[in-house]
Amino acid sequence: MPKRGKKYLESQGKIDRQEKHDVDTAVQKAIETSYAKFDETIDVAVRLGVDPRHADQMVRGTVVLPNGLGKTVRVLVFAKGEKEKEALDAGADFAGNDELIEKIKDGWLGFDKAVATPDMMGSVGKIGRILGPRGLMPNAKTGTVTFDVAKAINELKAGKIDFRVEKAGIVHVPMGKVSFGAEKIKENVTAFLDTLSRLKPASSKGAYFKGLAISTTMGPGIKVDTSSIKELVK
């Protein structure tokens, strides 16, 4: 096991690692145990009752968090002509076509999210090996391949996140900053869990939410009683 620092151990000592709480209490405890000098991110990890090895049990989706993520999102849009101008007018940090693709081939990755119009995907596919592993590849399923570039940009700037279940059946997502306070974090968590609940595969049997933990970037995980989720998202 990795050696833990003094501040982490002090933070861990404030909670019972085995005790499970409702979401309100877990969020509050996560904030109270935050100890870093920077504004830590609140993270949520959910273990689902699915087997991602089966295509019909792959859980993937997007959600616009009502209170955002508390950080500036740099959006790049692959487009040409009027759509390039529309993207810049809508607040895109970068917009263009072949010149951006060449720049990325040369190693530039100065953006956080990418959007592409459908007619650009043939060209964007050429840098899929660069964008894909970094989670930057535009995808129609997450709304980032679209002619409605203004809507896509606004959602990403507002705090839209995309998520997918990992091989171990876990979905891990950020929920905002400690400085948001408990109420805003709870609203973000509720929006995420509501979306996740609606994505339950028909082939998934038994308990869907099998485990949930809330933590800060540097802090210990606070376990959540999964039975409290139904009340939260009903």
d(CA 56, CA 205): 12
Mean pLDDT value across residues 118-147: 95
Which band of pLDDT confidence, cut at 50, 70 and 90, is reported for residue 1?
A: very low
- Asked if residue 17 has pLDDT above 90, the reply is no
pLDDT band, very low/low/confident/very high, at 34 (cuts 50, 70, 90)? confident
Longest pairwise C-alpha distance within the chain: 58
Q: Whole domain around residue 206: which residue ranges?
A: 15-69+160-233
φ, ψ at 88 (rounded to 5°): -65, -40
Count of domains forming the chain: 2
pLDDT digits (tens, 9 = 90+) for 194-231: 999 999 999 988 899 999 999 999 988 999 999 988 87
Q: 160 has which bridge partners?
A: 64
Task: Check whether residue 153 and residue 112 sit in a common domain.
Answer: yes
Would 5 be classed as within a structural domain?
A: no
Residue 9 is predicted with a pLDDT of 55
Q: For residue 7, tell me if it sits in a domain.
A: no
Write out pLDDT tens, residues 143-155: 999 999 999 999 9
For residue 4, pLDDT over 70 is answered with no
Both tokens of 88, joined, read: 């810049």
For the chain, give the number of residues.
234
Residue 96, phi then psi, degrees to nearest 5: 165, -165
Write the CATH number for 100.
3.40.50.790
Residue written as token pair 């982490």 = 8
Q: What is the pLDDT of residues 53-70, one digit of tens each?
A: 999 999 999 999 999 999
**Percent of the chain residues past pLDDT 90, beyond the cut:** 79
In a domain, 224, yes or no: yes
| Domain end position, chosen among 115, 131, 157 | 157
Q: Could you report the per-residue pLDDT of 61-109, keeping only the tens digit for each?
A: 999 999 999 989 999 999 999 999 999 999 999 999 999 999 999 999 9
For the entire predicted model, the pTM comes to 0.81
Whether 5 has a pLDDT exceeding 70, the answer reads no
